[in-house]
Each structure stands twice: as C-alpha cells, then as structure tokens.
Amino acid sequence: MLEHRIALKNAGRINPASIDEYIAAGGYNALKQALQMPPEKIVYELIQSGLRGRGGAGFSTGMKKKFTSEAACILLECMRYIVCNADEGEPGTFKDRIIMEQDPHLLLEGMIIAAYAVGAGKGYIYIRGEYHHSIDMIRKALESAVKRGFLGDNILGSGYSLDIGVKLGGGSYLCGEEFTLLESIEGKRGYPRIKPPYPAEKGLFDMPTLINNVETLCHIPAIILKGSGWYKGLGTDRSPGTKIFSISGDVKNPGYFEVEMGISLKELIYNLAGGIKDNKKFKTALIGGAAGTFVPESFLSVSMEFDSLQQKDAVLGSGAVIVMAEDKSILDMLHSILRFFGHESCGKCVPCRVGTQQLLILLEKIIANGDRNGSGLDALLKQSELMAQTSLCPLGQSPVLPIKSAIRHFRKELINPPRKTAHKGS
Ligand SMILES: Cc1cc2nc3c(=O)[nH]c(=O)nc-3n(C[C@H](O)[C@H](O)[C@H](O)COP(=O)(O)O)c2cc1C
Ligand code: SF4
C-alpha cells in the first residue's frame, strides 16, 4: 500500500458532520493531551518533528510557531492571531478542500493546538469563496466544537480561550499569499505588503500572527499523540512526514493521494494515478501548479520532496502534479499559465503589471510565427528573469519558474513545435 494517511486518515471513513464520529475515531484526544503540556513543549515537539509547511514554501512549522510565540507586541493591548490559509488557489491543487469537506474537525483540532502553542486568542480560517461545501462544513464543525467545549471560553477547563471565525476568500490567486490574505481579512483590497516584517512579528492588525496551510495544521494532532520521533521516521530526513499530491491531467486515475515524502514521481503517476491515459507516453509533469516547474521523463525517478526537487531546479510547491501525455503541447500549456499570471497580477508594481503582458505578447509571437533561431525564447526568459528580480511580491517572481524549466527541458520542441499544436495566438 503506497498511501500513508495522516491528514486524510478519516476522509471517507467517518461522517464529517458528526463530532461524535470524530471523537469515536480518537478525535480531540491530542487537544486534551496538548492542553496538559506547556506551550513551549509543543513548539519544541513541532521543531523536532521537522514538519514543513504544506502551503508551498516548506518553511519549518515549529520555527514559525517559535517566532510567533516569542514576538513582542508593539502595542500595549496585545492579541496574538492564528490564521489558517484555506484559499487553495494554486491551479491543479485540490487537497485542502477534501480535508475541510471530509474531516473538518481534524483541521480545527490542529488549529486549536497550534493557537494554544503560540498563545493566540483569536483565529480565522480564510476559505476560498467558491468552496461552498467546505465553508458549510467548517461552520458546522466550529459550532459543534464550541458546544462541546473544545473551542471558546476556558477550553476543557484549561483556562485557555480561543475564538475562531470564517472569512471568505477575495476571489484572487494573490489573496492566498500570506500578506495579501491578511490585508483581505482586515477588509482591505488584496494587495501584498512589503516584507520584512513577517507575520510572526507584525501580522493581522499589526499583531504577531501564525499563518499555516490547512494540510500543515492537520499533521499536528498526530505529532502530539505519537511524538516527533515517530513523525521524523516518516518520509525523508529533510522532508519528514507525508504529503498529499493532487494529480490531474492525462492520467487514468486522477485524484488526491497522501504518501510519505520521497516517493518517486513514477510511483505517483503509474502506481497511484494508474499511468498515462489511452496508453500514451509521458511527456512532462508540471509540478507545483502555475508557479511550478515542468519536468521531463528523466525526473520520473526523482524523490518528491522539497530538497531533491530544489537541487534539480524544480519545486514541490503545493503538491500539484499536472501530467501531460506525448501529444500535448508545452507551448499551449505555457500560454495558459502566462494568461493566468496576466489575469492575476494585482497591478500594484510596474514590473509585474507590464511584465506579465509583455510575456504574453512574446509567447504569442512565438506561437504565431515560430522561433527557429530561439531568439524569442531567449527574450521570454530574459523578461521573466527581470520580472523576478524587480517585482514586489512572489507572484511577479513566479512566471520564471515554468518558463525557465520549459526552455531548459523542452527547448527543441518549443523551437520546432509539432505541427498540430501550432496555432495562432488568441
Ligand atoms: C501567489 C501566492 C499564492 C498562494 N496561495 C496559497 C494558498 O492558496 N494556500 C496556501 O496555503 N498557501 C498559499 N501561498 C503560500 C502562503 O503565502 C504561505 O506561505 C502559506 O500559507 C504558509 O503556510 P505553511 O507554512 O503551512 O505552508 C501562496 C503564495 C503565493 C506567493
Ligand atoms: S508582483 Fe504582481 S501581484 Fe505582486 S505586487 Fe507586483 S503587480 Fe501585484
């Protein structure tokens, strides 16, 4: 069995609307145990576990909590916040939705423990506005958790109190970026902030704020119950634990699969997702979504974890794997990615506002006229690198990833595309 479920352990097994079924499956035992522990001990356990953020950047979850809990408040009246990032805007990613729909109490339990560890008194779950079912399930779960004393005032008689509310996403990709998300919760337009300071020091309403992805928080209850040593034994040395991969595209069995970090791309595609549709050959996988990297066939044996991919100039990101068969066009895919970035650029800074449009123009010229000597591709790469160096926030730094990887691995095809894929730009 290749799957190893931690974040998805109850998915499909219990009635997600029933807190009793969650409790019968061992739910809220980790919270009970955590409330007996000093908060610093929880932070220590999380650091020891090696858990890294599953939202894309892979930052140490324990260290983030340490920074948040130790951050000094700049205002006299201090409130620490916890925010769960459930915006799930990265194309090809559909894992947080599954957790919220099928096991909302696991997310709440992880979030309450994390909040207790950093001393947060107020929390928000920022859910993608289109995720209606997730929103309903989380709202119901919050209500029943308060009724049972797992949330609210004086949780389980511990003296610790926490209030959690739901905020609906602003409908833009950028609102999933942590600073923009904070602006959005504050009721402002979804523009990013300049960093540093980071949210741990100056986050929501200028207060120390812990922001974690849904999947990240769902690992915390198991780490509390089974210990950091157990968790560290899963996955790889530098990327312990499990990861949910969202696999889509030209595979026979698309879906979400939770496996130990370090599985090969080949196992993911052929053993879990059933192989390439219609018995075609594999051409590429776009790993990490639009802000991800194209990888060629030689990457099938690469270990799917943060560092092995990074060493090969690829990214794990949110765990999206969009598979393309031999007859699919890299140019077409790049075109739709660049249209996406052009649409999602918030327009605050010139390099990205103008740059994303220039990238589109350059690519559409290549599509329309061909690029026999490769000068169009060189210009595209140069423009995306310039954008990465000069843009204000990570969105403007993202197009270089798919562009560079496509040119690096598929230059020949991009210069000389198969005839049926060449088309006029839109
Ligand atoms: C443009 C952009 C969009 C993002 N969208 C999401 C998102 O939808 N969900 C998410 O968890 N993280 C997203 N992130 C990453 C967050 O900024 C942040 O790193 C993450 O929420 C931290 O949680 P983690 O440490 O648990 O991964 C995005 C980042 C960028 C630059
Ligand atoms: S890089 Fe793009 S998304 Fe980010 S602030 Fe500038 S215009 Fe907005």
Q: How far does residue 171's CA lie from ligand 1's centre (Å)?
A: 15
Distance CA 389, CA 357 (A): 17
| 9 falls within a domain | no
Side chain identity at 377, as an amino acid letter?
Answer: L
Element (H, E) at 47: helix 39-49
Same domain for 37 and 57? Answer: yes
| 350 falls within a domain | yes
Q: Which two structure tokens, joined as six digits, stand for 93?
A: 């990613």
| 7 falls within a domain | no
Give the domain CATH number at 275: 3.10.20.600
From 172, 173, 174, 194, give the residue whose CB has the most ligand 2 atoms within 8 Å, as the site to mutate. 174
* Span 403-420, average pLDDT: 90
* Span 117-142, average pLDDT: 97
Same domain for 294 and 211? Answer: no
**CA 221, 102, 98 angle in degrees (round to 5)?**
95
Tally of domains in the chain: 3
* Span 371-390, average pLDDT: 96
Same domain for 211 and 281? Answer: no
Same domain for 176 and 302? Answer: no
Q: How far does residue 384's CA lie from ligand 2's centre (Å)?
A: 13
Sequence-ordered list of residues with C-beta below 8 angstroms from that of 364, at least 6 positions apart, any chain: 335, 425, 426
3-state helix, strand, coil in the chain (%, to 5): 45, 15, 40
Same domain for 60 and 157? Answer: yes
Chosen domain end from 297, 325, 353: 325
DSSP state letter for 359: H
Same domain for 121 and 38? Answer: yes
pLDDT digits (tens, 9 = 90+) for 271-322: 999 999 999 999 999 999 999 999 999 999 999 999 999 999 999 999 999 9
Segments forming the whole domain that contains residue 169: 19-232
pLDDT digits (tens, 9 = 90+) for 344-373: 999 999 999 999 999 999 999 999 999 989
Length of the chain: 426
Q: Which atom of ligand 2 is nearest to the CA of 397?
A: 1
- Regarding pTM above 0.85, the answer is yes
Same domain for 198 and 264? Answer: no
Same domain for 40 and 123? Answer: yes
Find the distance separating the first CA and the last CA of the chain, reported in whole Å: 45
pLDDT digits (tens, 9 = 90+) for 182-240: 999 999 999 999 989 999 999 999 999 999 999 999 999 999 999 999 999 999 999 99
Helix pair angle (104-118, 39-49), 10° resolution: 120
Same domain for 215 and 358? Answer: no
Task: Please report the pLDDT score of residue 70 as a whole number.
Answer: 85
What is the strand order of the sheet 293-295 is part of? Answer: 255-260, 242-249, 320-325, 282-287, 293-295
Same domain for 195 and 255? Answer: no
Same domain for 80 and 201? Answer: yes
Decide whether any atom of ligand 1 lies within 6 Å of the 89 Cβ: yes
Same domain for 81 and 168? Answer: yes
